[in-house]
Amino acid sequence: MGTDDAYAELGLAAGATDHEIKAAWRRLVSQWHPDRNSSPQAVARMQRINLAFELLRQGIEAEARPQPKAEPAPASRPAHTPPPPEPPRPAWHIERKLKLSLEQAAAGGRMVLRGRHVERCEACEGLGYRHSPRPCEHCHGAGRIGQRNWFGWVTGFETCGHCEGDGLARLECEACNGQGELGRCRYEIAVDLPSGLRHGEELNLSAGGTHGDRLKLHVMLREHPLFRLDPDGTLHCEMPVDGFLWMANRWIEVPTLGGMQQLRLDRRHLRYRLRGQGYPKTHGGPRAHYIVDVKPLFPAQFTREQEKLIERLAASQQHPPGSPMHEWRRRFEGWKGKQG
């Protein structure tokens, strides 16, 4: 089959464009494919259509391929020509999760990240193959394969698994041997994290070096066993305390993001506000407040010695005029006298 016959087979004029050739081929395939056309001439016609398509596509590829230019022979060449330098590798774009404790996120600072990077093959865009101008041999370019019953009748169609429905044959990418990637390598990158990172934030950072590598981090804060964080940076902690220590206004230790801190209890209060001891309000900004809620706990049963001390304490209790207990007793006695 010559070029003119190929154009005529596809119903095209000589010099048709690549787009027109593909469109004509797809149109004829949908008409003459044996799974769609029961004519006895369908198979032979389909073979001529594919042959014409492949012939014209090869001609277009040959025209588009650059021709080597003849160079004049040099008068003299050095005995040993140094090899050309290796081209620089493309910039890496690393994307990963960054899990931090609340203490780490509040403090910020330098952190070394280690992991593995998969370098994607740019020649095939990570697919591992490239399309061929030839039609798929399994579906004859239709992109679908007929499903037949016991009697040989076509009862339906399914997408061709070899070309995944595009109708074109696939060639293994030579650059990556069909893997879609050029290799895996380890990395170790030091990054400076701002203080006050929030859960769900994304950081786009430069990975340093001379290749222009970029690093995208998805921040995740681990759930803390002691603290609860508000969106405005206010930090909360609920902690049980010894009821007797609370009654005696004693000093206790409370946890903070920076370690343990002394706190003096006051039996008149159950909530304590530590100013500037919470979480940063913004990146690198001042810290919000830290609120500690205490819950005094008393033993379910007192010892004999504790019972005696409580009785002595109750007996020594005095209620001077004007105190809430004195006023209550005064009103109670007045009400009781009227009842008699």
In sequence order, the 6+-apart residues with CB closer than 8 A to the CB of 192 are 108, 109, 110
Give the strand pairing for 214-221 and 228-229.
unpaired
pLDDT, averaged per 10 consecutive residues of the chain (340 residues), comes to: 80 81 80 70 76 79 64 59 66 86 95 84 75 74 72 71 75 76 78 94 80 86 96 96 95 95 96 96 96 95 91 88 90 85
Which residue bears the tokens 């040099």?
74
pLDDT of residue 147: 73
pLDDT of residue 263: 96
User: Which amino acid is present at 80?
Assistant: H
Query: Is the separation of the CB atoms in 209 and 188 below 8 Å?
Result: no
Domains, the chain, in order of start with CATH, read 3-62+129-172 (1.10.287.110), 93-122+183-221 (2.60.260.20), 228-297 (2.60.260.20)
Query: Is the separation of the CB atoms in 308 and 316 below 8 Å?
Result: no
pLDDT of residue 115: 87
pLDDT of residue 67: 61
Q: Would you call 48 helix, strand, or coil by DSSP?
A: helix
User: pTM of this prediction?
Assistant: 0.57
pLDDT of residue 78: 58
Buried/exposed code over 59-95 (b: 16+ C-beta within 10 A; e: otherwise): eeeeeeeeeeeeeeeeeeeeeeeeeeeeeeeeebebe
CA distance 135 to 106: 59
